[in-house]
Amino acid sequence: MPNTPDPAPVPALAPTWLRVATLVVAAAAVLVVAWACATAWGAVVHGHPAYAVLLALTLVGTVVAGVRALRRRPARPGWRRAGRVALLVVGAAWIVLVAWLRPFGAVEPALADLRSDDAVTVTEGATRYVLTPAGGGDGTAVFFQPGARVDARAYAAVLRPLAEAGHTVVVAKQPLGIAFLATGAFDDARAAVDADRWVVGGHSLGGTVAAMAAETADDDAEAPAAGLLLFASYPAGDMSGTLTAAVASVSGSEDGLATPAKIDASRADLPADAAFTVVEGAGHAYFGDYGPQPGDGTPTISHDDARAQISGAAVAFVDGLAR
């Protein structure tokens, strides 16, 4: 009987569980990107390009991972398999980060106040919004850093009265909505906008970064930071003996994040002549228009009432520096 060759051995395939886990992570990534776009499309399109790029990279990585998982691949040595597991863990963490970075999108009346009219001209760039008063402004400009993950457009309604009072207003678009990633934005604004003096301000984390910028630029010879405007915010450290700019702190009595206790404690870190205004009944999210924020307190006044008081305090402060 003639000898027949033994059939070629069938190579072992990669574990099914690993392929399934990869597909599950890929599907989760697609869902997170779709959710971010569906719930915050305006903020993605009109925000700093960094988050849109992050979403695009996530989709590209998802397609690559999904195609590789669907192919029948031979089993790899143990160390290669461990590497794939590590990549899965990194991928899952990446998805969580993308979801967490989804911005709080602006809502009305902020969106309506981004329209140009006879009093204020609104211009949008990749990294900032500029609200320019009719006539070009009075020489005192305001640079504003949004709170963490908050759409820059959300501050249009509360800041527009400053522009209507004659002060150019620049609102930063932060990479990924994090003020610490936009520490150079104030210098960029000063290079782009002609002003004799600046008031540097910010909301929440944005105010903390604004305080750093104000301390650095308060003795600038050409266009100094003459004022620091804090919305529900406080500095990261003691600048009571180093900051020469005037300071106005505006906070809410029902703020669950920058709580009244934290604001009160910040008095020791600011110059002795810093002015403190507490808007009774206001919460943390009342300093912009972007909907409720996790961890915030329960407001006891209307958003319109709080906004009017916050804007009024800001205009009075900046007007005083412009005289």
| Tens digit of each residue's pLDDT (9 = 90 or more) over 242-283 | 999 999 999 999 999 999 999 999 999 999 999 999 999 999
- Predicted TM-score of the model (pTM): 0.92
Between residues 72 and 316, the one the model is more confident about: 316
| Bridge partners (DSSP) listed for residue 248 | 229, 275
Q: Contact at 8 Å (CB) between 161 and 311?
A: yes
Average pLDDT along the chain:
93
Q: Contact at 8 Å (CB) between 208 and 230?
A: no
Q: How far is the C-alpha of 146 from the C-alpha of 178, rounded, in Å? A: 8
Q: How far is the C-alpha of 16 from the C-alpha of 157, rounded, in Å? A: 54
59-78 core/surface letters (b: 16 or more CB in 10 A; e: else): eeebeebbeebeeeeeeeee
pLDDT in the model for residue 77: 60
Q: How far is the C-alpha of 317 from the C-alpha of 275, rounded, in Å? A: 9
Residue 10 has pLDDT above 50, yes or no: no
pLDDT in the model for residue 12: 46
Residue 138 has pLDDT above 70, yes or no: yes
Q: How far is the C-alpha of 146 from the C-alpha of 149, rounded, in Å? A: 8
pLDDT in the model for residue 79: 66
152: Cβ contacts below 8 Å, ≥ 6 apart: 46, 47, 106, 128, 129, 146, 171, 172, 173, 174
CA distances from 118 to 18, 127, 133, 164, 194 (A): 62, 25, 9, 10, 21
